[in-house]
Amino acid sequence: MKKVITYGTFDLLHYGHINLLRRARQYGDYLIVALSTDAFNENQKHKKAYFSYEQRKSLVEAIRYVDLVIPEQRWEQKLSDIKHFQVDTFVMGDDWTGKFDFLKDYCEVIYLPRTPEISSTQIRQELKSHK
Ligand code: C2G
């Protein structure tokens, strides 16, 4: 079984996230999503998700391309995740290009083009201005 893993917050789930997950899943036949916990978001990524970890987990688990959701609690857990789950391919959007090349000794590393013109930040901003 070829396993794929990807990481993210997936807040205000939108079609850009779905596009990424669909393409990531095509690199194998089992997709793991390491979902940023609320503590990781606030302490390490300095952003506060609108939906809680549990709410985001239930959303991501409902996506047909996703087979398993695990918590992302530390930047440094990727290598142990890849070894623990025997992952073949690591996939991220290309806003991360180059950042995870150190994983290339352990698995395939793929950066996929982001879906343009959609982001959770933009959704928030537009909702704010449409009072
Ligand atoms: N994404 C995308 N197109 C968009 C928005 C997001 O392809 N319009 C991708 C991102 O590139 C990422 C994934 O969807 O691969 C999840 O996006 P975020 O939740 O914003 O992920 P991020 O905050 O970058 O977290 O350790 C890695 C981090 O957890 C990545």
Take residue 115 and report the two structure tokens written for it. Answer: 């879906």
Mean predicted lDDT score pLDDT of the chain:
97
CB atoms within 10 A of CB 78: 21
Q: Cα–Cα distance between 112 and 77 in angstroms, integer?
A: 21
Q: Tell me the best of 45, 47, 114, 123 to mutate to test the pocket of ligand 1, counting ligand atoms within 8 Å of each CB and taking the most.
A: 114
pLDDT digits 0-9 by tens, 74-86: 999 999 999 999 9
Contact 109, 54 (CB under 8 A): no
Asked if pLDDT for residue 25 goes beyond 90, the answer is: yes
What is the pTM (predicted TM-score) of this model? 0.96
Average pLDDT in the 91-101 region? Answer: 97
pLDDT digits 0-9 by tens, 48-73: 999 999 999 999 999 999 999 999 99
